[in-house]
């Protein structure tokens, strides 16, 4: 840290700069709200010194309550706020989450909206795609977790590490897009639109975000 000079310089609480020679660039800032330790471990591990600023919080409550709480966190402090949730193979529940996100976004300041990162049946399917081009439907979230465990025997929900998946982020994005190119067919089993969020996080000011080869 440079010594104080008596001349104060104010920097926005949202803004952080990286440097390349005499050029300064602003890093993106993202808030990711998740329902459990698996998602928190994954996204927290995507932080990098030169990449975007990533804040990850676990929010409590049922699926719809979490979306409502996430809507309340949307602000100009972040470039985008995402709420990452499982659909639990429940179309009615998924529609409720989507409605809450849309309703909340209409009243948000500055026209910003909450983005939903939904996985069917669960977030573990997104993790599976880092290791395997899986397309067969799941009967339950537990079945998806068992499949991930087959692919990565050392994996546990509480011990999820981004380093176990970093090499496969690009493949996971491609595989997820091939199942749902627009990222809005949330009832498809299996499917996930988390590739949209991953694509944002992989793009940093230096052009080499987390998980980029």
Determine, yes or no, domain membership for 2. no
pTM (predicted TM-score): 0.83
| pLDDT for residue 22 | 33
Residue 87: pLDDT above 70? Answer: yes
Q: Is the residue at 12 inside a domain?
A: no
Residues 24-37, mean pLDDT to the nearest whole number: 86
Looking at the structure of the chain, the number of domains it has is 1
Q: Can you tell me the distance from the alpha carbon of 168 to that of 50, in angstroms, rounded to the nearest whole number?
A: 20
- Tens digits of per-residue pLDDT, 35-59? 999 999 999 999 988 889 999 999 9
In a domain, 21, yes or no: no
**Contact assessment for residue 201 and residue 54, using Cβ atoms and an 8 Å cutoff:** yes
> What region, left, alpha or beta, does residue 206 occupy, with left being phi > 0 and alpha being psi -120 to 50 degrees?
alpha
Q: How confident is the model at residue 80 (pLDDT cuts 50, 70, 90)?
A: very high
5 in any annotated domain? no
Confidence at residue 104, expressed as pLDDT on a 0 to 100 scale: 79
**Domain-embedded: residue 18:** no
Considering only residues 108 and 189, tell me which one the structure prediction assigns the higher pLDDT: 189
Domain membership of residue 138 as a residue range: 26-201
Under the banding of pLDDT at 50, 70 and 90, the label for residue 112 is: confident
In a domain, 125, yes or no: yes
The percent of residues in the chain predicted with pLDDT above 90, rounded, is 75
In-domain check, residue 19 = no
pLDDT in tens, 156-167: 999 999 999 999
Mean per-residue pLDDT, 155-184: 97
pLDDT tens per residue across span 4-27: 334 333 333 333 333 233 333 478
Q: Measuring CA to CA, which residue among 66, 1, 57 is closest to residue 33?
A: 57
Instruction: Write down the number of H helices and E strands in the chain.
Output: 7, 7
The 80-86 sheet, strands edge to edge: 53-58, 29-34, 80-86, 114-120, 191-192
Specify the pLDDT at position 60.
Answer: 96
Identify whether 10 is part of a domain: no
Say whether pLDDT at 29 is over 90.
yes
Share of the chain above pLDDT 70, in %: 80
């Amino acid at each position: 840290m440079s010594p104080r000079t008596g001349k104060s310089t104010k920097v926005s609480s949202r803004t952080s700069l990286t440097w390349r020679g005499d050029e300064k660039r602003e890093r993106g800032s993202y808030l990711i709200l998740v329902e459990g330790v698996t998602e928190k471990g994954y996204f927290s591990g995507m932080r990098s010194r030169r990449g975007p600023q990533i804040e990850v919080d676990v929010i409590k409550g049922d699926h719809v309550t979490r979306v409502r709480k996430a809507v309340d966190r949307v602000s100009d402090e972040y470039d985008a706020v995402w709420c990452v949730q499982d659909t639990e193979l429940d179309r009615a529940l998924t529609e409720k989450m989507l409605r809450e996100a849309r309703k909340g976004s209409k009243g948000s300041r500055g026209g910003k909206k909450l983005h939903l990162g939904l996985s069917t049946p669960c977030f573990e399917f997104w993790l599976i795609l880092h290791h395997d081009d899986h397309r067969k439907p799941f009967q339950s979230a537990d079945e998806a977790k068992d499949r991930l465990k087959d692919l990565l025997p050392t994996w546990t929900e509480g011990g999820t590490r981004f380093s176990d998946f970093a090499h496969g982020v690009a493949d996971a994005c491609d595989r997820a897009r091939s199942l749902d190119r627009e990222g809005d067919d949330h009832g498809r089993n299996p499917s996930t639109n988390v590739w949209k969020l991953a694509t944002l996080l992989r793009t940093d000011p230096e052009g080499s975000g987390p998980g980029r080869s």
